[in-house]
Each structure stands twice: as structure tokens, then as C-alpha cells.
């Protein structure tokens, strides 16, 4: 390499960032991937209802990763009415097919969907709260 050539360096990417980009899980015949923007738009109305009820049960940004595991059936009771829509939008199924899914499988798939998408939800809530660097506007 002569003095005019510059070495191209690849940016350093954290391992957890790569894992988030390629996160997918297989449960039975279903492959669960993080929501796309279109899927998030589809689940948002249901998610809004779920989150409001879970906040009443003690959900916070800090316990978002563990809340479902700690609350078990109490959390599932809150999610249950909206579960078919979450599953249908995430797995790109007809709503009827999601509604007819075996209960045990639906519970596992639904919890995995929610747990898999907690990272972006935490980031969003931090952004809204103004905690992320650059999220606040400067005041004169």
C-alpha cells in the first residue's frame, strides 16, 4: 500500500446489536422475528391497550425484561384478549388462523413475541422520556 491508499476499517459493532438484527426463534412450525415497522403499526392499537393494563400492574421500563416471567398468568390474562392480533401480525397469519392456534403454543409464541420486542420498546420509552443522548432539545 503506498502513501495515497487508505486502509478501510469496518465499524465496530457490539455483539448484542448483531444479535438483535438477526434475532429469530423457531417454535414449532413458526419462525418468530422482531417486528418490522409495518408489523408494529399493525400491533400498536393492541399493544397500547396491553401496556396501559400492564402499567397498572406495575410494569416499568426497568422491569420490562423480567415482568412477564415474574407475573406469569396475571400478565397473560392482560395479554390474552389481544394475543391473536399480536400473533397474526408477527407471524403474518390470518387472524382466524391465529385464533385457532393451540392454546399452549399460542401462549409460548405470544410471550416470545413480546419478550423479543422489549428491547425496541425500552429504547422507544427512553427516547420519549428524553433519556437518550440527543433526544432533548437545547434551550437558550
Q: Are 86 and 113 in contact (CB under 8 A)?
A: yes
Give which of 62, 138, 73, 55 is closest to 111, Cα–Cα.
73
Strand, coil or helix: 26? strand
Instruction: Note the pLDDT tens digit of each residue in 77-100.
Output: 888 899 999 999 999 999 999 999
- Residue 12 confidence (pLDDT): 47
- Residue 84 confidence (pLDDT): 95
Residue 41 pLDDT class (50, 70, 90 cuts): very high
Cell of 123: 429504547
Instruction: Note the pLDDT tens digit of each residue in 104-134.
Output: 999 899 888 988 887 776 666 665 555 545 5
**Average pLDDT rounded to a whole number, residues 42-60:** 88
**Percentage of the chain with pLDDT > 90?**
29
* Domain residue limits, the chain: 36-119
- Residue 46 confidence (pLDDT): 87
Look at the pTM and tell me if it is higher than 0.85.
no
Measure CA of the first residue to CA of the last residue in the chain; give whole Å: 50
- Residue 4 confidence (pLDDT): 54
Who wins on pLDDT, 128 or 33? 33
Amino acid at each position: 500500500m503506498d502513501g495515497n491508499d487508505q486502509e478501510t476499517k469496518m465499524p465496530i459493532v457490539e455483539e448484542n446489536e448483531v444479535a438483535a438484527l438477526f434475532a429469530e426463534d423457531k417454535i414449532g412450525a413458526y419462525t418468530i422475528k422482531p417486528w418490522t415497522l409495518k408489523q408494529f403499526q399493525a400491533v400498536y392499537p393492541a399493544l397500547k391497550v396491553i401496556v396501559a393494563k400492564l402499567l397498572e400492574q406495575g410494569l416499568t421500563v426497568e422491569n420490562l425484561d423480567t415482568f412477564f416471567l415474574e407475573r406469569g398468568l396475571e400478565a397473560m390474562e392482560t395479554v390474552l384478549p389481544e394475543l391473536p392480533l399480536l400473533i397474526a401480525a408477527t407471524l403474518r397469519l390470518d387472524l382466524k388462523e391465529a385464533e385457532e392456534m393451540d392454546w399452549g403454543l399460542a401462549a409460548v409464541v405470544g410471550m416470545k413475541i413480546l419478550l423479543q420486542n422489549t428491547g425496541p420498546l425500552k429504547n422507544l420509552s427512553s427516547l420519549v422520556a428524553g433519556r437518550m443522548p440527543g433526544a432533548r432539545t437545547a434551550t437558550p
